[in-house]
Every structure is written in structure tokens, then in C-alpha cells.
């Protein structure tokens, strides 16, 4: 039996991570060059494609769909809108990135990816744009801004007056700051300094628009650390007897040399750079700066620093951080917060006093939008020192008694220069913990979000009358949040599964925001400042026949009276993406339907007249015009779930097609939990296509069934039923689609990515239906994720039987069908180590199973480069054609009913 591995390991390169990834990932540029030379010719046979050790290409129609310039399409949204409301910028990509770009030398340092030649985040290198365009929000006219030759661009930021755009120019070996003039369309470099953009990856304007704040390379800068030619000792790991259940991270720091590299590449100089002259004013000493937030007047800086000691067991994002307040000389005015190293949530070394101390620190620091100083929140400690508060977050009057401790008050403070104890004043006190606060532009009032006892409450308060609260909305089952903190009203997972089934349909909307006159985010208020605006989406209980409808309401702050400003059409899906003035007399509305590509329109609210602003293109008409069917499936135990079946546009009723199942299981405690995830389905959503949209397989003569099989069980133990429910789900889908006449049950394949890959291999070892499978970036042995995975919170020893039952590696001898695995050599996802795929292939080799493993250089979890994605499609098609569509006839497929028995 031949085992095909697309890239053989060579000596480790400095561009890749350590450990197994380093051993396997260092594929040289020579192979890439060979692949390019042979790219024009697709091998004649499926076997030749599958055996090729250079990049290969798929059928022409799939290549067209994969490489379509879909990034040229645009949505005019507030995130890219100028402060004047008139213009929108668009960063235009050059298409899919290449392996030449992804293969540039880089380090992985505690999961921080660094392009060390250019001193920036690898993401800036990999995903920089080729062009910068301006789009007129009144006419839709497009202008192109000149950008420097030989650079890609990233992190565009409007100046406060909307006359200029600052951006980062990514050159081959340097990272520079540029400013574009909107009127002339010309760009110019801001000084000659090079940025350090490894952690701070966006420039920021001062409120007067005269300067930019950034982190630059320190001067003088020492040479980078050099790896010792000979190891100076062993790599050491010691546990201290305290439980600390961390996840399986891909590229942690390993040695003192790694620590030295990290410190070198994140140590930068905070600087204020004159936008006109390029003059540089350096603030303080170089430091490991993770984030910078300048005050509106540019006189103070909220600086977040990475703290030592570093860690070998968590990534950089979980290292200890200190938040400090600096003045314009770099002097530390105040220590705002210290975030300790973030380990696991279930550490047993934290006493109640420790947890209380973490819970009562000052939090939520933000600059007041009127420029008067900082605002922050701070909660009182528990009256019973060292004990947790039993009533914090309880509903008013619910289950309280005199024996319980009183509620802990939460406070909103304003803190003015010189930021000493005398310049601090209280703005607001609440009996509940405040989740988030959104100020008005003059900072005289704010909107506050609180969540207590399962009830979300958003209210307004005027600081001149802090005891009066004006409720904007209060609803049980909805999560309250305001401003950039808002994470959606329907906390609890997919599709709003955590929202109450009644209140879900009463979505009151989010408070709309705008840019403050001094920068930052503030509440959007009417010109008389008496009203705010709420935007959101209303979902229909009969979602299978009625699309959701976007809306904007005006709400009188003191009376709570609402007036509709906008409601989306019933025969399409319309949402407001930007406003053209603070009175909301003109809106930018995105409109789409199941057959109409999304486009932006300028809508006059008073007259209802619209003007089309964009001319987006349908780059995947094969998918748009395909037959899309929603098929309800019922398991023998009564659980129902939905399968999205896609068939070619020319499908003839009664034709039984070879079919690819593509899936990703989710866990639920009951039928209702699953059904709640469907409430945000949108029958008028245009079929979105991306380079790896699996439904492209319909162009090759396959039906595609895409679904999320439910795994149902008691809370915390859902996976005890994983194997049996997975079997029942698959049996039910096959039975239903067979009964409906869509599929040829003797020619079935199954596949998935990540947890879907893991589940696809489980399907192939526990059921006999699939002639072939595709599994990408998966984990196949749960003993390699001993502290939990996905939504499984038990560790291996608490749920040992479940861990073992769910590990397809342990059942590899039962594999039915031919398995194609692929894995990114630089997969950074938690819990999907490359080693799992390597060992799985080794096992299948020893068992005499038909399998292949393709390992792709430079790619992370979910491949992105043109060469890799096209190569994957070529091999997927060849694999399925060889082992499914064109496989020799076999005996009748196993009978579902016989296999399910009494299920």
C-alpha cells in the first residue's frame, strides 16, 4: 500500500515553530518553485494528482470559484466611515495570498507570530492590502489613493477631521507610517522611523489631528539574541502540586533563548510623531508595550505592558500585564491595574480572599469623551472578609433573607489630572455590578448595562441626577451590554441558544454609537439630545418562511417612547450599516436576498427613496442558482434536526447522486437547545462563498449535505452519548435522504474540518456507510488533550471512558473507506496537534488501510494561500472521484434499520 505524504521533512528552519512542527514544517522554497513550474498542467489521472509532490490544481470551474476576486465586493459600514460621514475607505486585497508571502521567515513565540525581518506581526505581512480606495457615500463614486510602491498596507485610521488617513506600509524589511490626503489622493511617509508592530499594530491620532501615536524601534537597539551553538542545559518543566489545567497550546516558549527573542521583538519605544513634519517625541524608556490608549489631548497615555516572568505553559496573551498611566514625558503617573498570569479558571490555589481581590480591582478604564480625564468602575469588597457574596447578581427580592450578606455596591468614578486621590469623584453608584458603560459626547450622561439574576437591564443616567434611572429596556433572558463591549444580546452560544424563547423575539436593539468629537466611541443622540437610537434585527418565529428584518428605532430617553426610523423589507434582508448624519435622515442600507448579491444603498428616511452605491458581483453563480433544500431529519429516539442539502441547478427529480456529508457536531441538553440555534436562520441571506466553500463539489457531480448533528445529554456529560448519538444522527440522515430519493447510499463520503474532522473519522470507524472521508486539522486521540476539549470540561481521569470512546485512533482497525487527511504544518489551534494526524497515518499504515496525509507548509488552522487551497481542492476531487463516484460497484449498502436495531 502506498502512503502519500506531500512534503517530506528536512532540517529545521528559523521561520517555523519549535518541536514537531519545526521538524516537519521546514519545506524549502525549492519545492515551491517546482510546483510553480508545473502549475499549468493538471495531471491526467486521479492517482497522479494524489501522488504528486508539487502543488496541483483542481478542475477549472473550481479554480475559478476559489480564486474569484470576491474581496473586490464591498459593504459600506461605519467601521470604515470618515468622521464627516461622507467617505468610506476600502483596503483592496491582491487576491489570495501566496506561499511566497506566507513562507517569509517568521518566529512563533508563545503563539505570537513575528515577521522578524520587518519587526511586525506576521498577520500584517500575510494579509496586507494592495490598494486603498475611497468610496463616496452619497454617490458611490470610487477613487484610488496612491500608496508606496513595494509595500502592502494595513491598519488604516481616519484623522479626526476626516481629511487624512494614516496607515501602516509593510515593506520587505521595514514597517513604516504613512498618511494619505483625501483631497489630493496622495500619500507620504511620516518621518523616517521604523515601527515596531509586533503587538501594537495600529497607529492612533491625537484628538487635534496633529500627531500620531505609535511604537517605534528603540534607539539604540542591540543585535537580536543568537541561539547557542551548543545547548547549555536541559529544558526544564516543574509542577508545584497545584492543579492548573491548561489547554494544549501549539507553540509555547520552550527555552531561555525563546524568552530572550520574545523580549527583543516586543520591546519598543512609545512615540508621538508629528503628522506634518515627522518629528518624533519619545516617551519614557523602551518597554514591552502591548497596547496604548492616548488621552484626547495627547498629554497622557494609558499603557499596557507585558510583565515578567514569562511562562512556558500559557501563550503570550495570557502572560501577566500591567496597566499604567504615563504623562507626556513617559513618567508613570499611576498604576491602574495588574492582570496576573491568566491560567485556568479552576485553579485550586486561589483562596476566597484571592478571588475577591481579583473581583474588586478597578476595571474598565476609558477616557472620558469630553477630555476631562479617565472613568473606571470599582466594586466594594464583601462585608464578610474572605467570603464570597451570595447575593451578588441576584434578582431584586429573589431568595434574599436577612441572614445573607447585603449586596455589594458598584461605583463609576471620574478621575481628572493630576490623577491623585484628591482628583477622584464618584459619578454613579449601583446595587448591581455594572457590565459596561457608554457615555454621551459631553460626558454629562451615560447608558449603563447590568445583568442580574438572568435579567438584562440597560438604563440612562444623568450625572447631575445620579439617583434617577431611565430604563431603555429590561428583559429576562437577554444579555445587556452597550458600546464596544456588546457581544450580542443572546449569550449562551450558537444562534442565541441562551436567550429565553419568548424574549428572543422581543429584541429591543443595541444603542447606536458614533465617533466623539475628541475621538473614541460615544452614544449617538438626537440633535436635541433627548433621544437615542436602537438598532438590531427582529427574527420571526416562522423562520422557515419569513426572513429576519433589520430595524432602527428612536427612543425618548426619559419617557421610553419609541418611534420607528427604519424597518427592513419583508421580501429581502435589509440592515443599516452606516448613518450619513447624526439626525439619521439618510442611512446606508445593505440589501440582499437569496438570489441577489448584497449591495449598499443610500436611503432617504423621509421619502423612502434609495440610490444604489455599490455594484457587487456574484462570483459563484453555480452556488447561487443551485437547488438549496432544508430537510428535517428525525432520529429513532425522536430528536429532530436540519440538513442543508445542495444540489446542482440542473438536478432532475429522482436522480440519486453520490453525496458528500460535511458536518460539525454540537452539544445540547435537550431538543429545545438545538431548535433555539435555528432562530437566527435567514432564508433571504445570499449564498456566501469563500475559497473553501464545500458546496463547490456540486460542480463535480456530487450532492452536498451540510449539517450540525446534535449530541444530547445531561449538562456536563453530553459527550457520554457522543458515539451513540453520532451513529443515530448519521443513520437518520442517510435514511431520510435515501427515502427522499436524493442520494445514492452506495456512494457516500463524509468530511469536516477541525472538530468536524475528528467527527468524520469517528463516523468512519463506527458506521459502515462511507466509501471515503476527508478530515482536516483534526485530533484523533483524546488522550492528547487530557484537560478538556471543545465543550468537554471534564479531564481525562474524570471522563476516561468517554475520552477513550471518542478517540477514533483507538478504533482505527474498524475504519471503513479510504481516508484523506490534511494538516497544516503550523497549526496553532488549541488541541489539534499535527502529531495526531501523523500517528493516525502511522496506525493506518500498519493496519493496511487506504489513507493519505497531506501536510501543508506555512499554514495555520484553516489554510489560506492560493497554492494550498487549490491543491486541497484538486486532491479532494481526485480522492472522491476515485473512491466514491467512480469506485467499482459494491454489494448493497448496509440496511439502516437493521443496523439501528431498536433505536
CA distance linking residue 547 with residue 574, whole number of Å:
10
Q: Is residue 36's pLDDT more than 50?
A: no
Q: Is residue 34's pLDDT more than 70?
A: no
Report pLDDT for 338: 86
Report pLDDT for 483: 86
899 sits in which H/E element: helix 896-900
Q: Is residue 369's pLDDT more than 90?
A: yes
Report pLDDT for 350: 52
CA dist 84 to 33, 136, 512, 517, 581, Å? 48, 11, 17, 11, 8
Report pLDDT for 361: 87
CA distance linking residue 758 with residue 752, whole number of Å:
8
Q: Is residue 22's pLDDT more than 70?
A: no
153 forms beta bridges with 129, 169
Q: Is the sign of the CA dihedral 743, 749, 753, 758 positive or negative?
A: positive
Which residue do the cell numbers 489554510 mark?
A: 863
Q: What percent of the chain has pLDDT over 90?
A: 83
pLDDT band at 84 (very low <50, low <70, confident <90, very high): very high
604 forms beta bridges with 586
CA 566 to chain CA centroid, nearest Å: 29
Report pLDDT for 339: 83
Question: Whole-prediction pTM value?
Answer: 0.90
**Sequence-ordered strand ranges (E) for 557-674:** 562-567, 573-579, 586-593, 596-604, 610-612, 627-634, 640-647, 657-663, 666-668
pLDDT band at 677 (very low <50, low <70, confident <90, very high): very high
DSSP tag of 197: B
Do the beta carbons of residue 642 and residue 631 sit within 8 Å?
yes
Average pLDDT over residues 622-628: 97
Report pLDDT for 889: 76
Cell numbers representing residue 200 in the block: 501594537
| pLDDT tens profile 284-330 | 999 999 999 999 888 999 999 999 999 999 999 999 999 999 999 99
CA distance linking residue 844 with residue 834, whole number of Å:
16
Least confident of 346-360, 403-417, 465-479, 778-792: 346-360
CA dist 659 to 583, 626, 744, 851, 882, Å? 53, 15, 7, 20, 14
Q: Is residue 418's pLDDT more than 70?
A: yes
Name which residue leads in pLDDT, 861 or 21.
Answer: 861
Q: What is the distance between the terminal CA atoms of the chain, rounded to a whole angstrom? A: 38
Report pLDDT for 607: 95
* Buried/exposed code over 548-580 (b: 16+ C-beta within 10 A; e: otherwise): bbbbbbbbebeeeebeebbebeeebbbbbbbbb
* Buried/exposed code over 228-250 (b: 16+ C-beta within 10 A; e: otherwise): eeeeeeeeeeeeeeeeeebebbb
Average pLDDT over residues 439-448: 97
Mutual orientation of helices 722-739 and 755-766 as an angle, nearest 10°? 80
Strands ordered across the beta sheet of 112-115: 107-109, 112-115, 120-121
Which one, of 7, 26, 143, lies nearest residue 88 by Cα? 143
Average pLDDT, the chain: 89
Cell numbers representing residue 571 in the block: 421580501
Report pLDDT for 360: 77
Report pLDDT for 839: 98
Report pLDDT for 298: 86
CA distance linking residue 292 with residue 307, whole number of Å:
15
Which one, of 802, 706, 716, lies nearest residue 762 by Cα? 802
**φ, ψ of residue 726 in degrees (nearest 5):** -60, -45
Three-class SS of residue 415? strand
DSSP tag of 749: E
Neighbours of 587 (CB within 10 A): 22
Three-class SS of residue 240? coil
| pLDDT tens profile 233-270 | 999 999 888 888 999 999 999 999 999 999 999 999 99
Report pLDDT for 38: 35
Average pLDDT over residues 475-501: 59
Average pLDDT over residues 590-603: 98
Amino acid at each position: 500500500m502506498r502512503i502519500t505524504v506531500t512534503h517530506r521533512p528536512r532540517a529545521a528552519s528559523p521561520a517555523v515553530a519549535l518541536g514537531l512542527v519545526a521538524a516537519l514544517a521546514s519545506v524549502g522554497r525549492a519545492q515551491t518553485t517546482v510546483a510553480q513550474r508545473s502549475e499549468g498542467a493538471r495531471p491526467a489521472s486521479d492517482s497522479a494528482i494524489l501522488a504528486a509532490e508539487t502543488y496541483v490544481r483542481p478542475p477549472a470551474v473550481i479554480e475559478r470559484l476559489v480564486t474569484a476576486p470576491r474581496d473586490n465586493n464591498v459593504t459600506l459600514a461605519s467601521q470604515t466611515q470618515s468622521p464627516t460621514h461622507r467617505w468610506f475607505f476600502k483596503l483592496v486585497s491582491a487576491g489570495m495570498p501566496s506561499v511566497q508571502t506566507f513562507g517569509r521567515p517568521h518566529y512563533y513565540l508563545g503563539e505570537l507570530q513575528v515577521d522578524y525581518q520587518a519587526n511586525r506581526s506576521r498577520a500584517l505581512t500575510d494579509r496586507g492590502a494592495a490598494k486603498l480606495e475611497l468610496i463616496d457615500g452619497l454617490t458611490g463614486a470610487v477613487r484610488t489613493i496612491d500608496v508606496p510602491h513595494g509595500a502592502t498596507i494595513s491598519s488604516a485610521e481616519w484623522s479626526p477631521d476626516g481629511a487624512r488617513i494614516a496607515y501602516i506600509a509593510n515593506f520587505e524589511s521595514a514597517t513604516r507610517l504613512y498618511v494619505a490626503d483625501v483631497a489630493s489622493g496622495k500619500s507620504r511617509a511620516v518621518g523616517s522611523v521604523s515601527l515596531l508592530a509586533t503587538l501594537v499594530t495600529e497607529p492612533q491620532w491625537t484628538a487635534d489631528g496633529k500627531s500620531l501615536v505609535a511604537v517605534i524601534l528603540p534607539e539604540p537597539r542591540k543585535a537580536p539574541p543568537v541561539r547557542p551553538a551548543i545547548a547549555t542545559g536541559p529544558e526544564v518543566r516543574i509542577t508545584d502540586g497545584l492543579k492548573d489545567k491548561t489547554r494544549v497550546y501549539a507553540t509555547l516558549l520552550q527555552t531561555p533563548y525563546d524568552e530572550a527573542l520574545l523580549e527583543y521583538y516586543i520591546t519598543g519605544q512609545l512615540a508621538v510623531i508629528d503628522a506634518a513634519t515627522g518629528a518624533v517625541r519619545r516617551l519614557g524608556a523602551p518597554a514591552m508595550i502591548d497596547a496604548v490608549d492616548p488621552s484626547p489631548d495627547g498629554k497622557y497615555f494609558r499603557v499596557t505592558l507585558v510583565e515578567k516572568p514569562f511562562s512556558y505553559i500559557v501563550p503570550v496573551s495570557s502572560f501577566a500585564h500591567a496597566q499604567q498611566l504615563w504623562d507626556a514625558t513617559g513618567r508613570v503617573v499611576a498604576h491602574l491595574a495588574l492582570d496576573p498570569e491568566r491560567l485556568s479558571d479552576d485553579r485550586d490555589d486561589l483562596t476566597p480572599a484571592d478571588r475577591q481581590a481579583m473581583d474588586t480591582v478597578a476595571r474598565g478604564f476609558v477616557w472620558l469623551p469630553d477630555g476631562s480625564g479617565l472613568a473606571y468602575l470599582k466594586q466594594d469588597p464583601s462585608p464578610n472578609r474572605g467570603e464570597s457574596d451570595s447575593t451578588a447578581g441576584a434578582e431584586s427580592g429573589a431568595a434574599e433573607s436577612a441572614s445573607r450578606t447585603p449586596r455589594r455596591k458598584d461605583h463609576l468614578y471620574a478621575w481628572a489630572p493630576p490623577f491623585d486621590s484628591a482628583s477622584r469623584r464618584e459619578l454613579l453608584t449601583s446595587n448591581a455590578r455594572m457590565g459596561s458603560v457608554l457615555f454621551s459626547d459631553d460626558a454629562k450622561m451615560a447608558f449603563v448595562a447590568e445583568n442580574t439574576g438572568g435579567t438584562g437591564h440597560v438604563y440612562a443616567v444623568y450625572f447631575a441626577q445620579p439617583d434617577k434611572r431611565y430604563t431603555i429596556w429590561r428583559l429576562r433572558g437577554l444579555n445587556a451590554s452597550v458600546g464596544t463591549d456588546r457581544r450580542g444580546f443572546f449569550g449562551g452560544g450558537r444562534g442565541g441558544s441562551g436567550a429565553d424563547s419568548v424574549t428572543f423575539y422581543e429584541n429591543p436593539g443595541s444603542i447606536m454609537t458614533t465617533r466623539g468629537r475628541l475621538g473614541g466611541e460615544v452614544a449617538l443622540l438626537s440633535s436635541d439630545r433627548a433621544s437615542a437610537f436602537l438598532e438590531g434585527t427582529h427574527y420571526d418565529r416562522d423562520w422557515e418562511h419569513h426572513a429576519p428584518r433589520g430595524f432602527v428605532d428612536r427612543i425618548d430617553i426619559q419617557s421610553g417612547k419609541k418611534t420607528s426610523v427604519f424597518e427592513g423589507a419583508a421580501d429581502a434582508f435589509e440592515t443599516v450599516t452606516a448613518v450619513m448624519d447624526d439626525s439619521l435622515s439618510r442611512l446606508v442600507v445593505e440589501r440582499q436576498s437569496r438570489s441577489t448579491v448584497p449591495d449598499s444603498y443610500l436611503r432617504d428616511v423621509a421619502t423612502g427613496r434609495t440610490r444604489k452605491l455599490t455594484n457587487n458581483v456574484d462570483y459563484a453563480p453555480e452556488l447561487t442558482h443551485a437547488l438549496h433544500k432544508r430537510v428535517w431529519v428525525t432520529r429513532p429516539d425522536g430528536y429532530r434536526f436540519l440538513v442543508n442539502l445542495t444540489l446542482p441547478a440542473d438536478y432532475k427529480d429522482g436522480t440519486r447522486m453520490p453525496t458528500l456529508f460535511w458536518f460539525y457536531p454540537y452539544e445540547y441538553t435537550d431538543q429545545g437547545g438545538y431548535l433555539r440555534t435555528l432562530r437566527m436562520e435567514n432564508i433571504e441571506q445570499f449564498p456566501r462563498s469563500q475559497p473553501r466553500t464545500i458546496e463547490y463539489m456540486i460542480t463535480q457531480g456530487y450532492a452536498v449535505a451540510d449539517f450540525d448533528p446534535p449530541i444530547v445529554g445531561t449538562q456536563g456529560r453530553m459527550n457520554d452519548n457522543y458515539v451513540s448519538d453520532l451513529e443515530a444522527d448519521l443513520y437518520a440522515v442517510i435514511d431520510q435522504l435515501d427515502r427522499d430519493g436524493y442520494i445514492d447510499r452506495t456512494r457516500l463520503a463524509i468530511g469536516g474540518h477541525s472538530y468536524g474532522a475528528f467527527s468524520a473519522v469517528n463516523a468512519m470507524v463506527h458506521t459502515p456507510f462511507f466509501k471515503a472521508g476527508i478530515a482536516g486539522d483534526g485530533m484523533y486521540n483524546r488522550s492528547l488533550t487530557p484537560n478538556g476539549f471543545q465543550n468537554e470540561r471534564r479531564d481525562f481521569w474524570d471522563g476516561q471512558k468517554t475520552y477513550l470512546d471518542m478517540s477514533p485512533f483507538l478504533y482505527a482497525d474498524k475504519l471503513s473507506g479510504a481516508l484523506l487527511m490534511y494538516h497544516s504544518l503550523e497549526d496553532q489551534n488549541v488541541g489539534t496537534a499535527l502529531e495526531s494526524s501523523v500517528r493516525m497515518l502511522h496506525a493506518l499504515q500498519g493496519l493496511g488501510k487506504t489513507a493519505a496525509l497531506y501536510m501543508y507548509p506555512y499554514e495555520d488552522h484553516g489554510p489560506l494561500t492560493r497554492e494550498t487551497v487549490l491543491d486541497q481542492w484538486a486532491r479532494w476531487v481526485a480522492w472522491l472521484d476515485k473512491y466514491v463516484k467512480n469506485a467499482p460497484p459494491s454489494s448493497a449498502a448496509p440496511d439502516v434499520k437493521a443496523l439501528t436495531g431498536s433505536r
